[in-house]
Amino acid sequence: MRAEMVRGKRPSEAPLVTIGITCFDAALTIRRAVLSAVVQDWPNTEIIVVDDCSTDDSWQILETLAGQYPMKLIKNEQNKGVATARNTLLEAAQGEFIAYFDDDDESYPQRLTKQWRRIVDYESRHNAEFVLCTAVRNVAIGDKIDHRSTALGQVAPEPHGTMVADYFLGLYQPKTVSWGLFGTCVLMARVSALRELGGFDPQFRRRAEWDMAITGAFRGAHFIAVDEPLIVQHKTQGRDKSGDVPLRYALMLRKKYKNYLSYRKMYLASCALALANFHRRKGRFLSSLVYTFLAYISSTVFIWRRLTGKRGG
C-alpha cells in the first residue's frame, strides 16, 4: 500500500529520503516528532537525529527510541546551534532527498510522498535545478489547532530568483506571485541542491533558513509548496526566540547582504523595516510606526514602489 502511493514505484525503486531531525532540550516533544517520522508512508527512508548537547532527558529518550526503531543518532558534545546541526544532518544524509523535521512539531504521514511529488512534477515542468519545497502548516497553541499558515509558492506562479531575496530582506514584491511563510521545519529538497548551495550559515542561530534561501535565490532557486497542511507546528518559547534575539538576527541578515542592499539603495530602509516588524510583534505600535516612517523616507525607491502598488515581503 505504501509503495502504491509513490506513483506505482516499488520500495526498491523509490528514492531514499533522509528524514533529518534536530533536537535540543526537547524531552517533552521529541518522541512525538520521531514517531511522526517513523509512520511516514514513503517506502524508503532513513532517520537521522542530531542532539545538540541537550541538558534535559532528550538523549536518553532518543536512545530508547533508537532501540525500538531504526535510526541513526548523533550527539554534539557542545551546543553548536541549529544551523550547524542541520549541516551535520545534510553531511550525514545518504538519501537523494532530505526532509527536515523540528523536535517540537509533528509531520503528517503523507508529508514525504506529497512533497516528493510536488518537487518532481515542478522540476519536469520548469527544468529547475534548485527547488526548495515547503508546505502549508496547521499551527497549534497548546493542544488545539489555532490557525492554518500560508506557504511560499503554494500556488502558481511560484517565486524564484532575486525577487525571493528581496522578499526575505523586506523589499517590495509584485502581488502576482504566491508569497507566504518559509521554514526549515517543513523543508524538503534534493540533498545535492542543498549541498551545492552550501547548507546553512552557522553564525545564524535564527534566520538560518532565510539566509540559505537568499543564497539560493541569487542562484535562481525556485520556491514551491504543497497547498495543504503537512505538519502541525506547535508554538513553543525558547531562549533563541525571546527578548531581542529575533531582531538581532534580522539585522545580522541585512548586514550580511549590505552590499546588495546598498546597491539597491535599500539598506537603511530594510533595517528600519526589521525594527518596525520587531516592535509591532511586541505590541509597541508607536515605535513600529516611527520605524516604518523612517523606512519610507530613507529611500526614494522604497516610496516609489509603494506608490506604484507593490507590496512588501
Digit-coded pLDDT (tens) for 228-239: 999 999 987 555
pLDDT at residue 253, rounded to an integer: 97
Q: What is the pLDDT of residues 55-76, one digit of tens each?
A: 999 999 999 999 999 999 999 9
Using alpha carbons, list the distances in angstroms from residue 109 to 39, 66, 79, 149, 251. Answer: 6, 19, 30, 19, 37
* pLDDT digits 0-9 by tens, 151-181: 999 999 999 999 999 999 988 778 889 999 9
pLDDT tens for 274-295 read: 999 999 989 999 999 998 888 8
- pLDDT greater than 60 at residue 9: no
301 — pLDDT class (breaks 50, 70, 90): low
Q: Tell me the three cell numbers of residue 94.
A: 545518504
- Which is nearest to 180 in space by CA: 211, 200, 150? 150
The pairing of strands 45-51 and 72-75 is: parallel
Residue spans of the domains in the chain: they are 3-239, 243-312
CATH 3.90.550.10 fits 3-239, yes or no: yes
Paired residues of 50 in beta bridges: 22, 74
The model's pLDDT over 77-94, given as tens digits with 9 standing for 90+, comes to: 999 999 999 999 999 999
End-to-end Cα spacing for the chain? 42
pLDDT band (50, 70, 90) for residue 312: very low
CB-CB contact of 69 with 45 (8 Å) = no
Distance, CA of 134 to CA of 131 (rounded, Å)? 10
pLDDT, tens only, 173-209: 788 899 999 999 999 999 999 999 999 999 999 999 9
Question: Which residue has cell 533595517?
Answer: 271
